[in-house]
Structure 1
């Protein structure tokens, strides 16, 4: 008798366990959005009405789900529009370089009579919603972007220059220096650190600051941030100068070889890499069919004709050792111009 009662209790507990598992599965499937279907037409596809937030059976029109979240655009967009801003999500991207991640309010210009007081002064101004520090940063970032666009620099260099300016601005290391001069120096350092250096004259051409002031800020920034830049070599400018001059690859390779050999043999001591590169391009072009004058090379390299002439005069006596062995001479070495 006791054994029968024991078996009955075990069977009862087992049935209760099975019923609880089935109930939990049924309750979980009821809240699963993937299993929502019409009770009368379980195989019929559902239509989502985002305006009302309902899911409707396509056969009988029964509402089987509600509170559907609209993941589409807030505004209407048209494929033929060329606008750069995407209105599908309002608000601009966060800028980590600004305080508050650039979530401050930007007030647009007033256009109605209610936007101005009796004296004609705008009632709503951005100065009340943006700190002076952020205004200085935004102006500097705008200046860096403008300079980079004029000399076709990529966004990676612009971002690095912006980070450098942010570090200098937060550290307050260059008080008394103009922000434009600091921005120009930061752009110059960013070019050097990214491996695409530009000369001081190229930065001055797109900036409003003198070469001397940019050079001073350059040294102060390196000292304040305790950073460094790689030394400039003749190969850093060779491909860009030859491309701008329209010279073929053969002349570019010869000019690169000539400049490297001249530095290795210590033929041009004390000369800047830019002047050595310009003189090597002049020598290689004069020995080929694509000849370029000193003035043409000087305009591209940003050096004077006299500078090219002085470096070329040092390199000319050793021309036989400077040219690569496989170079095809259109003009022999002994017929190259002598200075």
Structure 2
């Protein structure tokens, strides 16, 4: 017969040796005092596997007694029942339809959350985003969903905006057009949800700069490191002397890349840069037109010109 007492904290312990550690005997389901051998608790649940599993087994399924881990991103997921596929005749009705289906054990709220998490993962995979960004986006979506802050907005639009915010907060920002390209939602709708989520959750994102996109754009264009450094210097200098007021960092970065590439042997057209940066040719021209008169003082001093400044396209 088990005999036990409890600390003030509610922890089970031996009444003779309250500070002695307890030994758990999973085979018998007992908790035993390590000092005197007294059984102080019984019927302990074995949370281990029912039999051994090996990583090279084809099934890859861990036959655990207690089911899958709790998912804090779902409401009441620890109480749901997942029904395996039927194999016998009793599992199907006269029309061949399965009698027991998993959708009956998941409420509509969890189903909406699951579908949105799946959409976030799909979008993130398309643009090679990390798990940390996906997890942050999922948490943001759950906060919005539980708070019912964006009623009337589609879950896909909210999921896209959450992924955009997660990228900004994890310091690997993506443009609205990049998110829009892997989503089914328009850029305008993602932008609306973005503002509403920031207001509803009382959170914020850091301002984006030209440096956030420069290395990625130059890498995608196959530009040399010298051109990338020159473009970064041009964009930063243009911002410091305030010759591109009101222009977005993305358009300034694109114009700086165009200017640096035109002065080097790795020349790139406005269209090539625009396709990578997600901005229109005319947007690059407008920023470049503001920067061109100051080109002499925008380039770094050690830049090796292939095309002199005075021979750059004047626009």
TM over 0.5: yes
Name which of 268, 291, 304 aligns with 2:280: 304
Counterpart residue number, 2:154: 178
Q: How far is the alpha carbon of 1:73 from its aligned partner?
A: 5.7
Counterpart residue number, 2:187: 211
Deviates more, 1:92-101 or 1:191-200: 92-101
Name which of 220, 244, 258 aligns with 1:282: 258
Counterpart residue number, 1:252: 228
Paired with 1:337 and 1:160, the residues of 2 have a C-alpha distance of 44
2:296 equivalent to 1:338:
no
2:151 equivalent to 1:193:
no
Gaps of at least 5 residues in structure 2 are 1-22, 28-45
Name which of 210, 213, 229 aligns with 1:237: 213
CA shift in 2, pair 1:214/1:71, >3 Å: closer
Q: How far is the alpha carbon of 1:96 from its aligned partner?
A: 1.1
CA shift in 2, pair 1:95/1:79, >3 Å: closer
Counterpart residue number, 1:202: 178
Paired with 1:163 and 1:180, the residues of 2 have a C-alpha distance of 15
Paired with 1:119 and 1:71, the residues of 2 have a C-alpha distance of 40
CA shift in 2, pair 1:127/1:241, >3 Å: same
Paired with 2:92 and 2:77, the residues of 1 have a C-alpha distance of 30
| Count of aligned positions | 278
Q: Larger Cα Rg: Structure 1 or Structure 2?
A: 1
Paired with 1:207 and 1:263, the residues of 2 have a C-alpha distance of 32
* Preserved CA contact (<8 Å) 2:48 2:64: no
Counterpart residue number, 1:54: none
Deviations 1:28-67 (Å, cap 9, x if unpaired)? xxxx9xxxxxxxxxxxxxxxxxx9xxxxxxxxxxxxxxxx
Q: TM-score, normalised by structure 2?
A: 0.80
Aligned-residue RMSD, C-alpha: 2.8
Paired with 2:280 and 2:262, the residues of 1 have a C-alpha distance of 18
Deviates more, 1:92-101 or 1:320-329: 92-101
Q: TM-score, normalised by structure 1?
A: 0.75
Counterpart residue number, 2:81: 105
Q: How far is the alpha carbon of 1:249 from its aligned partner?
A: 1.6
Q: How far is the alpha carbon of 1:128 from its aligned partner?
A: 2.4
Name which of 135, 143, 157 aligns with 1:167: 143
Paired with 1:151 and 1:329, the residues of 2 have a C-alpha distance of 35
Q: How far is the alpha carbon of 1:192 from its aligned partner?
A: 0.8
The runs of at least 4 aligned residues of structure 1 exceeding 6 Å deviation read none
Name which of 136, 139, 155 aligns with 2:115: 139
SS in 2 for 1:94: coil
CA shift in 2, pair 1:126/1:315, >3 Å: same
Paired with 1:163 and 1:99, the residues of 2 have a C-alpha distance of 13
Q: How far is the alpha carbon of 1:198 from its aligned partner?
A: 0.5
Larger % of helix: which? 1
2:51 equivalent to 1:87:
no
Counterpart residue number, 1:24: none
Counterpart residue number, 1:271: 247
Paired with 1:293 and 1:78, the residues of 2 have a C-alpha distance of 55
Q: How far is the alpha carbon of 1:71 from its aligned partner?
A: 10
